[in-house]
Amino acid sequence: MKIAIQGVTGAFHEIAAREYFGKDVETLNCEQFKDVFNSVENTTADFGIAAIENTIAGSILENYLLLKKSKLKVIGELNLHITQNLMALPGTRIDDITEVYSHPIAIQQSKDFFDNYPNIKMINWSDTASAAQKVADEKLAHTAAIASEYAAELYGLQILARNIQTHKQNFTRFLALSRSAVDVPENNKASICFELTHQPGSLVDVLGVFKNNNINLTKIQSLPIVGSPFQYAFYVDLEWTERNNFDRAISKVLNLVSNLSVLGEYKAADRVS
């Protein structure tokens, strides 16, 4: 089984792929998220994994747009505990560091730690693991990376500081992607996208349908509709205990919206606390 991920070996996406699909899967490393979606669509990979939100950095808006644009379906989700670590070549001291490479979200997650090191320059990189790989392969002195402990082990780097993320309860939610939906009795969650007409109270009417059918909204995200100035699409995650309630709610909502897409139905991941 081949799983498309964003990033190189050692990236959090690889960790998520192996936790969700199993330790023995093969990963296909992609430079950008759009490459993950394309790889699954063109059958280069069997499935894909893509982060959709983080408890510190918030939503990854690019992936909402890619999900709507693509023909892929969400078939599952995973909440992965993220711990960020500062790493460098063996023998390096933290006071020797002048530059740090990492993914922008990892840098954002660790911002408070670096307030104590104002002389360190933060440099955005494509992903956490490739930042660690760069430091190791190019033997960059006075340079560090922010990445997982797994990446430090893979690339032979020394961890200078562990768990440097500002909030220790740092989780990223990943979506498992497939070319086809998986309809199983365990499914109790759906991700949908809908658009509304310009009528007063139209969003309230839709949300009221879900409330009246005992559907729990766990996430709502609005994004501009490209080509339609100041109009928005709403991306909503829904959970239910009775499948009939979801089916009945969707049937009613179809009469209230101008467009609706079910992006996937799947089993909700265990809640984090």
> Would you tell me the crossing angle of helices 12-21 and 128-137 to the nearest 10 degrees?
120
145 in helix, strand or coil? strand
- Cα separation, 259 vs 273, whole angstroms: 35
Q: Which amino acid is at 238?
A: L
Cα-based distances in Å from 103 to 132, 137, 147, 163, 219: 11, 18, 9, 16, 25
Is 107:115 a contact under the CB 8 Å cutoff? no
HSE (side-chain half, CA atoms, 13 Å) at 211:
6
The dihedral region occupied by 22, where left means phi > 0, alpha psi between -120 and 50, and beta the remainder, is left
From the list 27, 128, 143, 172, the catalytic residue is: 172
Question: Alpha-carbon torsion 88, 93, 97, 100, what sign?
Answer: positive
Tell me whether strands 143-147 and 171-178 are parallel, antiparallel or unpaired. Answer: unpaired
Q: What DSSP character marks residue 186?
A: T
Q: Which amino acid is at 141?
A: A
From the list 21, 174, 194, 246, the catalytic residue is: 174
Catalytic site residue 174? yes
Residues 6+ apart with CB under 8 A from 42: none
Q: Which residues are catalytic?
A: 172, 174
